[in-house]
Amino acid sequence: MHHFKYKNGELYAEEIPLSELADKFGTPLYVYSRKTIERHFRTYLDAFRYIEHIVCFAVKSNPNPSILRLLAKMGAGADIVSGGELYLALKAGIPPEKIVYTGVGKTEEEIRFALKSGILMFNIESEEELREIDNIAKKMGKKARIGLRVNPEVDAKTHPYISTGLKKYKFGIPIENALELYIYAKKLKNVEITGIHSHIGSQITATEPFIQSLSNIIRLTDNLRRIGITIKYLDLGGGLGIKYKDEEPPLPSELSMELKNILMGQDVKIILEPGRSIIGNAGILLGKVLYTKKAHKTFIITDTGMNDLIRPTLYQAYHQILPVKRSKLSKTIFGDLVGPICESGDYIAKERVLPAMKRGDYFVVMSAGAYGFSMSSNYNARPRVAEVLVDGKKVSLIRKRETYADLTRNCRI
8 Å CB contact between 273 and 307:
no
pLDDT for residue 160 is more than 70: no
Q: Do 270 and 324 fall into the same domain? A: no
Q: What is the pLDDT of residues 45-101, one digit of tens each?
A: 999 998 899 999 999 999 999 999 999 999 999 999 999 999 999 999 999 999 999
Residue 166: the pLDDT is: 45
Higher pLDDT, 152 or 379: 379
Q: Do 17 and 107 fall into the same domain? A: no
Residue 76 within a domain: no
Residue 243: the pLDDT is: 86
pLDDT for residue 284 is more than 60: yes
Q: Do 258 and 284 fall into the same domain? A: no
* Other beta carbons less than 10 A from residue 404's beta carbon: 9
Residue 164: the pLDDT is: 44
Domain stops at, among 274, 305, 327: 274
Strand 10-13 relative to strand 16-17, pairing: antiparallel
- Give the catalytic positions in this structure: 342
pLDDT for residue 159 is more than 50: no
Q: Do 28 and 102 fall into the same domain? A: no
Domain stops at, among 274, 298, 318: 274
Q: Do 262 and 341 fall into the same domain? A: no
Q: What is the pLDDT of residues 295-346, one digit of tens each?
A: 888 999 999 999 999 999 999 999 999 999 988 667 899 999 999 999 999 9
Residue 250: the pLDDT is: 84
Domain stops at, among 212, 240, 274: 274
Residue 317 within a domain: yes
Residue 383 within a domain: yes
When divided into structural domains, the chain yields a total of: 2
Residue 165: the pLDDT is: 40
pLDDT for residue 17 is more than 70: yes
Residue 144: the pLDDT is: 98
Q: Do 234 and 372 fall into the same domain? A: no
Question: What are φ and ψ of residue 132, in 5° steps?
Answer: -65, -45
Residue 222 makes CB contacts below 8 A (sequence gap 6+) with none
Q: What is the pLDDT of residues 338-364, one digit of tens each?
A: 999 999 999 999 999 999 999 999 999
* Other beta carbons less than 10 A from residue 300's beta carbon: 25
Q: What is the pLDDT of residues 215-224, one digit of tens each?
A: 888 889 999 9
- The confidence band for 263, taking pLDDT boundaries of 50, 70 and 90, is confident
Report percent pLDDT > 70 for the chain: 95
Q: Do 268 and 286 fall into the same domain? A: no
Residue 73 within a domain: no
What does the pLDDT average to over 387-400? 98
Q: What is the pLDDT of residues 246-260, one digit of tens each?
A: 888 888 898 888 888
Q: Do 258 and 321 fall into the same domain? A: no
Residue 239: the pLDDT is: 80
Q: Do 111 and 164 fall into the same domain? A: yes
Instruction: Indicate which CATH number applies to the domain containing 143.
Output: 3.20.20.10
Q: Do 261 and 296 fall into the same domain? A: no
Residue 168: the pLDDT is: 56
Residue 1: the pLDDT is: 63
Instruction: Indicate which CATH number applies to the domain containing 350.
Output: 2.40.37.10
Domain range holding 252? 95-274
Residue 45 within a domain: no
Residue 39 within a domain: no
What does the pLDDT average to over 273-281? 95
Residue 312 within a domain: yes
Range 111-117 contact pairs with CB under 8 angstroms and sequence separation of 24 or more: 111/136, 112/136, 112/140, 113/83, 113/86, 113/87, 114/83, 114/86, 115/140, 115/142, 115/144, 116/140, 117/86, 117/90
Q: Do 269 and 286 fall into the same domain? A: no
Residue 261 within a domain: yes
Q: Do 268 and 300 fall into the same domain? A: no
